[in-house]
Amino acid sequence: DHRPCILLTPLFAIHMVTPPTVRIIHSGHACNVEEERHTERVYTIREGETLELTCLVTGHPRPQIRWTKTAGSVSDRFQDSSVFNETLHIAKILRTQGGRYYCKAENGLGSPAIKSIRVDVYYLDDPVVTVHQSIGEAKEQFYYERTVFLRCVANSNPPVRYSWHRGREVLTQGSDKGVEIYEPFFTQGETKILKLKNLRPQDYANYSCIASVRNVCGIPDRSVIFRLTNKTASPSIKLLVEDPIVVNPGQTVSLVCITTGGEPPPVLTWVSTNDSLPQRSVVKGGTLTLPAITSDEAGVYSCVASNNVGNPAKKSTTIVVRALKKGRFWITPDPYHNDDNIQIGREVKISCQVEATPPEELTFSWLKNGRALRSSERMVITQTDPDISPGTTNLDIIDLKFTDFGTYTCVAALKGGGIPEISIDVNISSTTVPPSLTVPRGKSPLVAREGDTVELECLVSGKPKPIILWSRADKEAPMPDGNMQMESYDGVLRIINVSREMTGSYRCQTSQYNGFNVKPREAVVELIVQYPPTVEPVYTEKRQGLGRPVVMTCKVLRAHPSRVLRFEWLLSNRLLHAGAFDAQKDETEYTIRSLNRDGWGEYTCNVINEAGAGKCTFQVTGKAYPPEFYYDTYNPLWQNRPRVYGFKLQWTQMNPNAVDRIVAYRLGIRQSGIRWNCWVLGIPVDGPINKGELMTHNLTELIKPESYEVRLTPITRFGEGDSTIRIVTYSGECCIMYVCLKYSDHFEEEPICMFTQDKNDDFDWTRHSAATRDTKYTPNTGPSGDRSGSKQGFYMYIETSRPRKEGDQARLVSPFFNVAPKNPYGITNPPAYCFGFFYHMYGKHIGTLNAFLKQKGQTTSEGPVWSLSGNQGNHWKQAKVSIHPTSSFQVVLEGIRGPGIEGDIAIDDVTLEEGECRDPPPTPRLHPHPPIYGCYASPW
């Protein structure tokens, strides 16, 4: 039979605009999916398995899909973490990833469709037994009572149940007078405590705690064993180090910890106050080694010993890393005089401060003009001043003389050595004067433009010249470097790339350091940052047909100075209109009363103030919007010839009335991955296109199994519009398919038209033509030609000769047809398909021919949708039956061998078409489930 099997679909247009609907289905490793109150769905999964949720959406235009997760139970508050595709896939899910997952679909029609599912992650950790012992003296007797508590804890979801065993004996409340089992109130039933009161000899044994979640999700029970002996004791340890340990940077430090008691033997671990041990640290047994230690690694280090008996033992030591940094000085004139000048005959104090670690090792020495200075009645050196912060030394010069002028040097060192000294020089002379602070004329207010580099300046005088501290004077806000204060040694604050947020008042003040310890001098500098107008829209596209009006509006959001000077409207740099800006309206408008061809192009509106211009740009065009492909049927495919396939391209036009009428589409097709192999077709359009109107075009002569890139471009009087590209992929999985079992001589390439033999049946269907079939084994049975009467045409049949026996089954299984995700109406209104085939059942031993519908996820069939038994005469007959699948499905044809060899059953021309069957032949009476065949529970 050489007639091609082809499904022809004419070009047509119907209204197919539908709002979105959503349904969530699952795959992967679900333990259970159950419906709760208010139709809430709960998906339970074992920790470590793969979570896969698919959002089945319908609607046209194709809805956009977004998966989001909330940690709460009944909240529509979406978090930032989103997945923008249909399938949510989480490999090796963690317990922290449980919660409610939402799928939201929207296509601009109606309200967004939202469905949610709660994911419950099940897990059970190994239980841990902790032991606590108490010894109390009885009041009226002379013995000690020893009580032991064994506490069992396991993290789990759902809540865990515990059971206790002593050896092989199951312990329950009341089974032993010396044993109590209870749940502390504060643990809400999650912890079981075994109490052994007044310990007896038989209580020294192996105790096992078994934690169970009752095998939910296939999670097995977990257990732990604790051996209780008369030597069981909590841990004790000893640190073989000093406290604190003071070292120089770069040294290697080793801390040694040993156990001095505990049964079972304790496990030693090290922890640090810095949350984690340094990356380069090495732990070996109870020894912690810190190579080439740095100041950042200083802190408290603790050795912790645990054996689950009593409380863990903990011993700590502090590591101090020597350091010297930040040397400062200040001068204090005679506090008994009102002026701040240094004068002969008065008292002067020089203070010197450094930061030292450890502070108790800090030592100071003083030099005058490079020579050591010792404390005397007139030169009083104080090593530490309790009234000032630590790390400070003072040199008091009483009754200042002319000979006291010179350079005084304060030298700070650490007793342990190994750290370089810090030297600070202070000059005392007749020219030493307190500071003064002023703002130069013309430097406040300082006006700058956004993006400039500005320098705020305060003039500071005095000797020595102090450090200047800059801060915000008008509000509690950080400086440009992020700190609340910035230091300057020359009185200048430099700000690079100044922004509008930096407008305000800045305070400069003298620091008490590196200068006189007098009341701080301060001044304020005003900074004004100008910026061009901020306008909207920055860029927008105006699509319009010829002869229609176009209105463009440019709005000013903010500007400084806010007095806007003027506006300009231009088309491709050609001035159209200019004028003074109306500050009352905050916007300017330009109107094209009737758009002509010269009016297409880029319009610019410049709104200008002293700082520059803000620009609104409008692209006025007659370009049509892109078409939108209709994806509700994924890769609809039909068979026409063995080497080629066809595709029904479907689309709607986005905003067809926004521009001039679309007169045609240009269709470009090229094989994926090949640039030069491309061809172009023109698709004329008769009459105007309505919004949402579905258009189709049949693509033919596509070579199997290649994929193709399709580019669709609308054309108006303006010319080409925006294109849309999609990939057409050859697929055996489809929702509209014409399946043919007769390909003449081409069965070598496609043996049975994508049908497969069931691996779980008793024997296979056989492919044959009447011209090649040997009928000597089965005389007077089977067809003399294919369905059309051709002896060269091929068909499928079951060979009932030996070794076949009565009741043997042969099944042909189709590929999966994807229906559920593409059905625009959801499962409440399942689609209809017409499943048809021709059959030949001639012979006195004819058995049964069954047709089944098998839906994805089902392991058993609900029975045949069509069934016929016995001799039907020596001619071909047609069968048609309407099926209504609610998910991806297969069709199955089953032949069952009758009582003898004259029972060959043949089939030909299998078809599957969309819609209910038209004028179906009379449906044969369906048989009840024949007990001898037992085929309905077979795993297809």
Interatomic CA distance for residues 742 and 752, integer angstroms: 8
- pLDDT digits over 62-97, tens only? 888 888 887 543 333 334 456 767 888 898 999 999
Instruction: Please tell me the least confidently modeled range out of 137-146, 515-524, 716-725.
Output: 137-146
Question: Which is more confidently placed, 749 or 608?
Answer: 608
CA 816 to chain centre: 32
The predicted model gives 202-228 an average pLDDT of 93
The whole-model pTM stands at 0.53
In sequence order, the β-bridge partners of residue 117 are 101
Give the phi and the psi of residue 201 in degrees, each rounded to 5: -55, -40
pLDDT at 884: 87
Identity at 683, one-letter amino acid code: I
Question: Which is more confidently placed, 245 or 914?
Answer: 245
Which residues, at least 6 apart from 702, have a Cβ–Cβ distance to it below 8 Å? 644, 645, 646, 647, 708, 728, 730
- pLDDT of residue 886 exceeding 60: yes
Local confidence band at 178 (pLDDT 50, 70, 90 cut-offs): confident
Local confidence band at 40 (pLDDT 50, 70, 90 cut-offs): low
Sign for the pseudo-dihedral over CA of 455, 461, 467, 471: negative
pLDDT at 829: 65
Question: Which is more confidently placed, 751 or 458?
Answer: 458
In sequence order, the β-bridge partners of residue 895 are 810, 849
CA 515 to chain centre: 56
pLDDT at 82: 62
Question: What angle is formed at CA 776 by the lines to CA 773 and CA 778, rounded to 5 degrees?
Answer: 85
pLDDT at 569: 96
pLDDT at 712: 95
- pLDDT digits over 307-352, tens only? 999 999 999 999 999 999 888 999 998 877 777 888 888 899 999 9
Local confidence band at 519 (pLDDT 50, 70, 90 cut-offs): confident
Question: What angle is formed at CA 659 by the lines to CA 653 and CA 662, rounded to 5 degrees?
Answer: 55
- pLDDT of residue 185 exceeding 80: no
Most confident of 389-398, 495-504, 544-553: 544-553
Local confidence band at 396 (pLDDT 50, 70, 90 cut-offs): very high
- pLDDT of residue 745 exceeding 70: no
The predicted model gives 362-375 an average pLDDT of 94
- pLDDT digits over 554-563, tens only? 999 988 888 8
- pLDDT digits over 47-65, tens only? 999 988 888 888 888 888 8
pLDDT at 316: 95
pLDDT at 823: 36
Question: What are 295's two structure tokens?
Answer: 């100041």
Which residues, at least 6 apart from 867, have a Cβ–Cβ distance to it below 8 Å? 848, 849, 850, 851, 924, 926, 927
Q: Are 903 and 800 in contact (CB under 8 A)?
A: yes
- pLDDT digits over 572-611, tens only? 989 999 998 887 788 999 999 999 999 999 999 999 998 8
Nearest to 755 by CA among 739, 766, 742: 739
